[in-house]
Amino acid sequence: MSAEILSVSELTQQIKTRLETHFPQVRLKGEISNCKRHGSGHIYLTLKDEGAQIPAVVWKTTASRMAVALKDGMDVIAEGRLEVYPPSGRYQLICTSVTEAGQGALQQAFAELLQKLAKAGYFNAERKRAIPAIPEIIGLITSSTGAVIEDMSKVFERRFPAAQLLLYPVKVQGNSAAEEVAAAIAWFNSTKKRAHRPDIIIIARGGGSLEDLQAFNGEIVANALYNSKIPVISAIGHETDLTIADMVADLRAGTPSIAAELAVPDRQELLRHISNLQSRQDRLLQAKLEGTERQLSSICSSYAFNRPPLQMLQFHERLDSLVSQMSRAITNLFSQRVQHYAAVKQQLNTLDYRKTLERGYVLVKKEGKFMTGSQKLKASDNVELLFHDGMLPAVISPAKSS
C-alpha cells in the first residue's frame, strides 16, 4: 500500500499542529548567537549549545519588559513555546521571558520565599505602619560610597532641610550585605537615645542585576523589616526592580530620590499651608469678634438690658418726689406744732394763777395747803399770804362783832 501523497503545505501544517501541541511550554538553556534587534522592536537570535541550535524570537512587548540586555555569547534560560513558521519550513522558539542562566536558581528561590512570606502575612497592608508627615530624624541605610547619598541629600536640602539625617553605612551587595542591612534596622530600633532613634528609616541602593539585589531578596532582611517598630521606606534599584524588601517595607519608592521625596514634606507647601491656616484663623477670629460685637450691641440695645437703668431713673424721680413730699409734710407739721404750742402757751398764760395775783388777789396757805374757804381757818392760825411778787406770814385774828 503506497503512502498518502501530501502537499508540502499539508505536511508542514501537520508538523506544526503536532509540534506546537506537544511543546506548548518549554524552558531552554543555551548560548545566544546572531542576536539582532529589528527596527520594529522585535529581537531575533539563535540559541545553541555544543550539539544543536534553534532560532528564537522575542516580540517587542516581551522585549520591553526584560531587565537584561541580550547579546551574543550570553548564557541564558529562555521560556516560551515552539512554533512552526510555514513560509520558511522551520520551527522556532517564541520567547515569553529570557534571563541570564545564573538567575534561574535565584528566581526560583525568590518565588518560593515570596510564597512563604505572603502566606505568613508579611505583605498584608493592614500591618504596615504609616509614614510620619513631618519626621525630625531620618535614618539612612545604604552604602557610604556612590551617588545614592548625594542624590538623596539634594532632595532633602531642597524639600525639608530641617530634617536630621543619620547614616548607617552597609554593604548593599555581596557577602554579608543582608546581615549588615538587618543589623542596621535592628540598631535603629533598639537604641535608647532619642538623638539616634529616627522617626523613619530609608533603605536604598542603586539598580543592578538580580544577583546584585540578592541581599534584599532574602529572609534575613525581610524579617528585620517585618519586626521593625519604625516605619521603613524601601528604595532598591530602579523603577522596574521589585525586591522582597520592597514588598515587606511600609512604603516602596521607585528610586532613592523618590524615597527622599516621599519621606519629607515640601517646605514651600508647608509654609503655604501654615500661611493659609493663619489666614483662616485670622478670618475666623475676626468673624468671631464681629459676631460678638453685634451680639453685645444687640444686648445693650435690648429692652431687658436697658430696663434696670430706666427703672433706676424712675426710682430716683420717685425718691426725689417723696423727699419733697416729706419735706413739705415736715414743714407743715412743724408749723402746726408751733401754732399749737403758741395757742397752748397762751391758754397756759391765761390760766396762770400769777396773772390773777397781779390783779390784786392773794392766796392763803396753811400748813403747806391752799385755803379755799374761811371755814378752814380760825383765830390765831398762822398762815402764809402769797402775793404775785412774794410771800408774807400772817396770823388770823378773831372776827370783830358788829
Entry pTM: 0.51
* Per-residue CA distances from 350 to 344, 346, 363, 381 (Å): 10, 6, 17, 32
Contacts 24+ apart (CB under 8 A), 380-386: 386/357, 386/362
Domains of the chain, first to last = 8-101 (2.40.50.140), 107-265 (3.40.50.261), 354-395 (no CATH)
- pLDDT tens-digit series, residues 270-320: 888 888 999 899 999 999 998 888 888 887 777 766 677 777 888 888 888
Compute the chain's Rg from CA coordinates. 64
Lowest mean per-residue pLDDT among 176-190, 204-218, 278-292: 204-218
Give the contacts of 332 (CB within 8 A, at least 6 positions apart).
none
**Residue owning grid cell 504596615:** 128
**What residue type is assigned to position 259 of the chain?**
A
Residue 366, all three cell numbers: 396753811
pLDDT of res. 169: 94
Kindly state the helix (H) or strand (E) to which residue 131 belongs, with its residue range: none
Could you tell me if 228 and 189 are in contact, meaning their C-beta atoms sit under 8 angstroms apart?
A: yes
Is there a contact between 30 and 56 (Cβ–Cβ < 8 Å)? Answer: no
Q: How many CA atoms lie within 13 A of 21 on its CB side?
A: 6
pLDDT tens-digit readout, 330-349: 989 888 888 888 888 888 77
